[in-house]
Every structure is written in C-alpha cells, then in structure tokens.
A = this chain, B = another copy of it.
Amino acid sequence: MDLWFEEYQTKDMVISCRVLRTLHQEKTPFQELAVLDTVEFGRMLVLDDVIQTTIKDEFVYHEMITHVALNTHAKPVKVLIIGGGDGGAVREVVKHQSVEKVVLCEIDGAVVEASKKYLPEISCALENNKAEIVIDDGIKHVRNNKNTYDIIIIDSTDPVGPAEGLFSAAFYKDIFDSLNEEGIFVAQTESPFFNDSLVQRIFKDVSGIFPLTRLFLANVPSYPGGLWTFTMGSKKYDPLDVDIEKIESMNTKYYSPAIHRSCFILPPFVKKLLG
C-alpha cells in the first residue's frame, strides 16, 4: 500500500513521509493523536497532524531542551516539565545525579499512554522512581506551585491549540514565580526561518521578566527548516559562564560540553531577531 503522512509545516509548505503502518490513531479530549511507523524517521508521534517526535531524531530535541539548562544550574534538584508526555525530556533529566524529583505535567494523558505503548525508547524513564506524572494543565500547575522548582522545561506543541497559552508573557511570569531564587526555565520556541516574529516576541517577553535571557539553537530534521530555537530565562546562572571542562559526560548523541558553548553562537540573521 502506498501510504503517506503529510504535514503542512506552513500553509504553503508540506513534508510528506512514507508510512509503513499506522500503529495508533485516537481523538483525545484535547487533540488528534497518531503514532505512525515511517520509512525515514521510524516511529513518529503526531498531534493534530504535526510531527512531535520521531525515533530517528528525537535525541537532538530531548538532549538540547534538558542538558543545556540542567548543566547551567549548579545543583538542579527539583525539575518540572510542562508537556513532554512522550517522556523523552524525563529520560534525559534523570541522567543528572543531583536531580531528586522530576514532575511531568502533561495536559493529555493519552499522549503518555500512547508513548508508553509505542515509543518505549523515548518513554522508558516515565517509570523511574524520580519521576512523578501529573495529568493537568501546566498553567494551573505553576500557579499552584510557587517558588518550587530549580528548572522548568516547556516541552510544548506549536503555539496553536492546547499549547497556545504556553507562549504568553503572562505564563512566563507564572513560570518565574514557580521557580525558586536560582531557577532557570527553557522552552522550545520554533523556527528562526519560518517563525521569526514569534522568536523575537518571546525573547522580548522573557527579557522583560528574567534578569538573564539566552537563545540557543539545535538542528531537528523533522521540524520545519531543521534549525530550531530554544529560549532560556535565568534568575542567576549564565549558561555561558559554565566551565565546560567540568560537565560530566552523559552518553549523548547531539549535546556535548563543546555544543553547550557553540549552540549559543548565533548566525547574524538570528542575532538580529534579539534586538
């Protein structure tokens, strides 16, 4: 059978992947969920027709959304992940010795269940004894947990549908209040090529709330254009001050101490967005 999945990366650009099998398909209270087995990317989690993570390239996104922030903090103990129901971020966070607890706050329990069943390589750490899974709205969770976390990771879908509120200045203020006095937050913040105004707006919003704001880059081939931004807000620690010689190796495929430094080196066209 000649089966293809098509994602409208924008209304004028589509990526199509040949599908071997549809492993799962379900309409949850929040979104359309599918797990597809594709030729080029292997198994793939799709939410509302948008690729979230794939077996082939998930390591890039999950290593970069976690280790850069955790290795910037002197001693991250309590970590919150908002979204990230596939468990990939949890898997990377628990590699850090200092971490005693990682709370995963995912609004859609169906994402967690499907990931446990069909993406074990990604979801494997969800059963870890340091991990606590909360099925709830991340916005509500941070409002109810002030001055609590060392690290908050916003591992969200695109800024449409359920995740829209996770890209607002009001939410970044709630994040600030949910972090303790040395806290750091990091969020996936879309493409500098195809969503430059959003990248620009978020950096401005976060800069208005946190004493230190940094943007870094990684290449996720299953996302539009490949190049992806992550925005970090920090109350005390600067990722550029980290002594990368002291970063302990964690058996990663994209992140490394050298990448910890180089991911902040922005091409002029990206730097320009930050004003």
Question: Chain A: residues with CB nearer than 8 A to chain B?
Answer: 4, 10-18, 38-40, 56-57, 59-60, 191, 193-194, 217, 219, 221, 224-227, 252-256, 258-259, 261-262, 265, 267-269
Please, could you name 7 A-B residue pairs with CB atoms under 8 Å apart, sorted by A?
A: A14-B16, A221-B225, A225-B226, A252-B268, A258-B265, A259-B265, A262-B265
B12 touches A13 (CB 8 A): no
Minimum Cβ distance to chain B for residue A239 (Å): 14
User: Oligomeric state, in number of copies?
Assistant: 2
Q: Is the Cβ of A40 less than 8 Å from the Cβ of B12?
A: yes
The interface residues of chain B lying within 8 Å CB-to-CB of A224 are: 221
The residue from B12, B60, B258, B261 contacting A17, defined by CB atoms under 8 A apart: B12
In the complex, are the beta carbons of B15 and A14 less than 8 A apart?
yes
How far does the alpha carbon of A221 sit from the alpha carbon of B17 in the complex, in Å? 17
Most buried by B among A12, A224, A256: A12
Closest residue of chain B to A59 (Cβ to Cβ) is: B269
Q: Which residue of chain B is the closest to A57 with respect to CB atoms?
A: B193
A53 → chain B, closest Cβ, in Å? 15
A38 and B221 CA atoms in complex are apart in Å by 21
Distance (whole angstroms) from the CB of A203 to the closest CB of chain B: 18
Cross-interface CB contact of A193 among B193, B221, B258, cutoff 8 Å: B221
Instruction: State how many angstroms separate the Cβ of A71 from the closest Cβ of chain B.
Output: 15
Q: State how many angstroms separate the Cβ of A190 from the closest Cβ of chain B.
A: 13
Closest B residue by C-beta to A6 = B16
Q: How far is the CB of A207 from chain B (nearest CB, A)?
A: 21
